[in-house]
């Protein structure tokens, strides 16, 4: 499976990069300096004008933000555009510092565009330090409505490569309703204690790849929401953060199924979770299936392997009422390294909808604490056990 996915990903990137090379030979450049942009001032109007002209250009186009520090306010780059378009960031784009400036859920957004490239060695700085103290998620469950740094809404056949996102006020990157979108060599940086700063969140999207990327943040490095299908997470280095997560699922009505999630060849270091599936108790109905975690390196992680169908982080739900999200066809293969806690494998499924076809194969998770070797726990699941197993296979418990 891993080889086939890797070949498919490489083929997609070659197509995109070949297309990019061809485009570059004929691309018209729209430099924001030609629209009045100057360093260390607000260039929102200039970059909006450059985008408008580039998007309307009948041939391929490129908006360029050159090397310097610029300020950009709340802005959405709308499509559809007449031809392929690139947004090339070589400088540093800074958000307004005051959270009260934002009336919506985003700082910068790209919407309804086909054949978009977002590229460059520059960065997006969300100035999140000014907002994190307002977010009480970790204390009382109150998550302030703060903006995501970069939104990708209804983007198709596109690639985001080489950019860096610093210190988002809330999520760094959010992809919604996208198809055939690849994040390649993306770097995300925020402190371990920055609340609700998920690295890349994917929702209701198909054929999304997150590859060869570095994510250090205060929440999930990658989080996968409802309606996500055919998702590849490969070659991601995560940490600090909360790990790589499917979910949480079941909080809202009419959530769409999650299926075809593959997390391959990733490294997790100093995270609070490793690879995880989480659903709320007392949830709305839903499903998550065909989810595979393979060739994962664990280094000093609190909960390396976890399915948690009683996810209730702020005690604001009814944990006694079982989850109605059905989890099936899940595998954890060749996962190895050092657990920071004794309980290295935790698979807690719903009593009303026990997990089906959960496989543990070639697991080697060591714990070096004084209170004994690593252990595992299973609730409402009968896992398929194969290959080497450390800790020993789960002791199965049924909870009604």
Q: Which of 261, 257, 342 is nearest to 294 (CA)?
A: 261
224-400: CATH topology is Pectate Lyase C-like (2.160.20)
Q: Within 10 Å of residue 140's Cβ, how many Cβ atoms?
A: 10
Specify the pLDDT at position 143: 60
Find the angle CA(246)-CA(247)-CA(249) to the nearest 5 degrees: 135
Dist. CA 98–CA 108, nearest whole Å: 15
Residue 10, CB-side half-sphere exposure with 13 Å CA sphere: 7
Q: What CATH architecture is 1-131+143-219?
A: 3 Solenoid (2.160)
User: Which tokens is 197 given?
Assistant: 């700063």
The model's pTM is 0.92
- What's the CA gap between 42 and 69, in Å, rounded? 10
Residues 6+ apart with CB under 8 A from 289: 257, 258, 259, 326, 327, 328, 329, 330
Low-confidence ranges of the chain (pLDDT < 50): 1-5, 7, 11, 14-15, 18-23, 140, 399-400
CB 93 within 8 A of CB 120: no
Catalytic residues: 242
pLDDT at 137: 56
Q: Where, residue-wise, is CATH 2.160.20.10 in the chain?
A: 1-131+143-219, 224-400
What does the pLDDT read at residue 12?
Answer: 54
CA atoms lying within 13 Å on the CB side of residue 133:
3
Per-residue confidence (pLDDT) for residue 22, from 0 to 100: 42
What pLDDT sits at residue 316? 76
Residue 142 DSSP label: B
Beta bridge partners of 61: 28, 85
């Amino acid at each position: 499976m891993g080889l086939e996915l890797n070949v498919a990903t490489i083929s997609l990137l070659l197509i995109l990069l070949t297309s990019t090379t061809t485009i570059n030979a004929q691309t018209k450049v729209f430099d924001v300096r030609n629209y009045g942009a100057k360093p260390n001032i607000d260039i929102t109007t200039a970059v909006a004008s450059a985008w408008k002209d580039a998007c309307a250009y009948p041939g391929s186009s490129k908006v360029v933000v050159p090397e310097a520090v610029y300020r950009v306010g709340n802005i959405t780059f709308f499509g559809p555009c007449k031809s392929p378009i690139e947004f090339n960031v070589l400088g540093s784009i800074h958000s307004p510092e005051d959270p009260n400036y934002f009336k919506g859920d985003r700082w910068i957004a790209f919407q309804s565009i086909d054949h978009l490239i977002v590229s460059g060695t520059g960065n997006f700085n969300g100035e999140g330090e000014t907002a994190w103290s307002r977010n009480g998620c970790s204390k009382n469950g109150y998550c302030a409505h703060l903006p995501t740094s970069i939104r990708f809404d209804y983007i198709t056949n596109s690639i985001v490569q080489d950019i860096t996102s610093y210190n988002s006020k809330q999520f760094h990157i959010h992809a919604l309703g996208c198809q055939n979108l690849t994040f390649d060599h993306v770097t995300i940086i925020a402190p371990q204690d920055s609340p609700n700063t998920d690295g890349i969140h994917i929702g209701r999207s198909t054929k999304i790849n997150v590859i060869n990327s570095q994510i250090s943040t205060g929440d999930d490095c990658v989080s996968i929401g409802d309606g996500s299908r055919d998702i590849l997470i490969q070659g991601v280095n995560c940490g600090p953060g909360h790990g790589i997560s499917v979910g949480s699922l079941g909080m809202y009505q009419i959530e769409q199924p999650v299926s075809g999630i593959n997390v391959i060849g990733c490294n997790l270091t100093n995270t609070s979770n490793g690879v995880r599936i989480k659903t709320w108790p007392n949830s709305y109905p839903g499903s998550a299936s065909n989810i595979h975690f393979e060739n994962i390196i664990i280094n000093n992680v609190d909960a390396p392997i976890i399915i948690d169908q009683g996810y209730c982080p702020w005690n604001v739900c009814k944990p006694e009422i079982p989850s109605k999200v059905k989890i099936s066809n899940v595998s954890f293969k060749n996962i190895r390294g050092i657990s920071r806690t004794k309980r290295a494998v935790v698979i807690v499924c719903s009593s009303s909808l026990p997990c089906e076809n959960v496989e543990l194969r070639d697991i080697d998770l060591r714990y070096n604490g004084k209170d004994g070797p690593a252990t595992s726990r299973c609730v409402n699941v009968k896992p398929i056990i194969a290959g080497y197993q450390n800790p020993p296979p789960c002791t199965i418990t049924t909870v009604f």
